[in-house]
Amino acid sequence: MSGFASEEYNSCKTWIAAQIQAGATWEQVKNLCVSPEFIDRELERLKYDELIIPLKMDLNMWRDLVKDIEGSYSPIVEMYGISADGNSNTLPIPTDSGSAWVRYKNSLLGKYTRKPKMSEAAVASIEKNSHWILNHIKRDTRAAGPVKGLVMGSVQSGKTANMIGLVSMAAHYDWNFIIVLSGTIDNLRKQTRDRFFDDLTQSGGVSWHILDRTSNPDYMVDIKTKERYLLEDLHLNTYQDGKTSGMWMHRYVTVCLKNSTRLRNLIKWLQAKPQRAAKLRILVIDDEADQASVNTRKMKEDLDEEEQERTAVNQLIIDLINGKDHEGAPSKAPFQAMNYISYTATPYAFLDENGHETFSFPENTTRTQKYKQFGNSVTIPVIEEMALFMLSCFKKMTKAQANLLLELAWSQDTITRRDVIESLRVSNNRANYLLRKMKNAGFLIPIVTKGRGAKYKAGVTRGTKINIEE
């Protein structure tokens, strides 16, 4: 219903999303998540104390709102941790009647069937979210490197609709190959594939090709026409003169299982013809990014990040994003564009300073699984809080380690990298880092500067307390 499309109801929708995400039922949300005898009191509180519900809204209006968005709503989503160069695009929302986005938008609103799939408010939210993300991904990443980001939504929030909205807008602006990484169960992957097929193949000036795997890793097959595709068979034409009329843009989508064999075959197919691969503008969408994509292996302190042993799926996703071939070797020609956007709607718990869980895991989740799932699936406020806490810990640790090194230097006149490793029980990399920080700050003076035999003496008088941070 269009009556709830205005911005004054955004706080209501955010509150509803939070309750659903926390496990409330839609019936409970209709009753403000309190017992019947407290509904009136809670309504007043949310109006006057919390400023969530507009003053003009009564209980009947509230329930109409909840009913309007129940089943397929699209709350405000956020991009977190985007790794672009800081410059955003200025691409407008497509308005051409033949564009994929306009066709998809009209389909959601029921303009072709008179049976709306989503409310006007939900579609408006998808449009806003998709457009924001569109203007933060890049059509050419060869110089700056791949763009990576995380989109946070809520449970049952129309996440797939948001993904398809982004894909339909991206198709309008020359992103020509879409990869959807979808879970670890093939039946669910097929459901996602079929959803993209149903929602995209009615798109005006765009000829969509939903490609699927075959038993032969050299070929992909169009699920509609059954036509086989090598990489060189793709039509990689671009949007011409701002018009779709009279021409067809070919756009390709493949939905790949998070399975090492299938990922490896996909990479092999994409890299089969380097000069052809160099014309691909790729958008990777990692659906349910907390599932399988996260590296769950223990990191080794004595190895740099690029040297760490990772799970097979995690490593292959990294190789895909970084343009490496199926054996992990650098590609002979980089993709014209590589954008990786992960989507998740699953919050997981963490422990506070007292060891108490402040968010809830699903029942019967083992302690090991809790830690494995703790990755990019955490809600943004939790990530921010943990990042601040970890930063404060690093600062305190570095200060303490620096003062211990000075004490060591005063006690034995000179110190070496080996002395730092053994006395502080830190890795080789950490020892080098501390020595470099203290040398640059003037707290240590190098005596011997060559390689492993490097020696340092204290650069300040005995008893000096220093405050050095990360």
Statement: residue 188 has pLDDT above 50:
yes
Considering only 56-70, 134-148, 235-249, which range has the smallest mean pLDDT?
235-249
Sheet containing 444-448: order of strands: 415-416, 455-458, 444-448
State residue 212's pLDDT score. 94
Statement: residue 179 has pLDDT above 90:
yes
Rounded alpha-carbon distances, angstroms, from residue 78 to 126, 339, 427: 12, 16, 37
Statement: residue 295 has pLDDT above 60:
yes
- Specify which residues 255 forms β-bridges with: 180
State residue 349's pLDDT score. 36
Q: Which residue has the higher pLDDT, 74 or 463?
A: 463
State residue 13's pLDDT score. 79
Considering only 37-46, 259-268, 334-343, 393-402, which range has the smallest mean pLDDT?
393-402
Classified as helix, coil or strand, 459 is coil
Q: What is the DSSP letter of 89?
A: P
Q: Domains of the chain, with CATH numbers?
A: 2-69 (no CATH), 78-346 (3.40.50), 382-458 (1.10.10.10)
State residue 462's pLDDT score. 85
State residue 347's pLDDT score. 42
Q: Are 101 and 173 in contact (CB under 8 A)?
A: no
Q: Which residues contact 347 (CB under 8 A, 6 or more apart)?
A: 21, 359, 377, 378, 379, 382
Statement: residue 181 has pLDDT above 90:
yes
Average pLDDT rounded to a whole number, residues 381-392:
67
| Mean per-residue pLDDT over the chain, rounded | 79
Classified as helix, coil or strand, 88 is coil
State residue 366's pLDDT score. 52
State residue 359's pLDDT score. 42
**Distance (Å, rounded) from C-alpha 187 to C-alpha 192?**
9
Sheet containing 220-222: order of strands: 78-80, 147-152, 337-344, 281-287, 177-182, 249-256, 206-213, 220-222, 228-229
pLDDT digits (tens, 9 = 90+) for 194-235: 999 988 866 567 889 999 988 888 899 999 999 999 999 998
Considering only 33-47, 158-172, 205-219, 369-383, which range has the smallest mean pLDDT?
369-383
State residue 342's pLDDT score. 86
pLDDT digits (tens, 9 = 90+) for 148-165: 887 876 545 678 888 999
Closest CA to 125 of 98, 84, 153, 92: 153
Q: What is the DSSP letter of 109?
A: T
Classified as helix, coil or strand, 376 is coil
State residue 151's pLDDT score. 81
Average pLDDT rounded to a whole number, residues 18-45:
86
Q: Which residues contact 117 (CB under 8 A, 6 or more apart)?
A: 72, 107, 108, 109, 110
Q: Which helix (H) or strand (E) holds 380?
A: helix 380-412
pLDDT digits (tens, 9 = 90+) for 99-133: 889 999 998 888 888 888 877 877 888 898 899 89
Closest CA to 76 of 121, 120, 31, 110: 121
Sign of the torsion formed by the C-alpha atoms of 158, 163, 164 and 166: positive
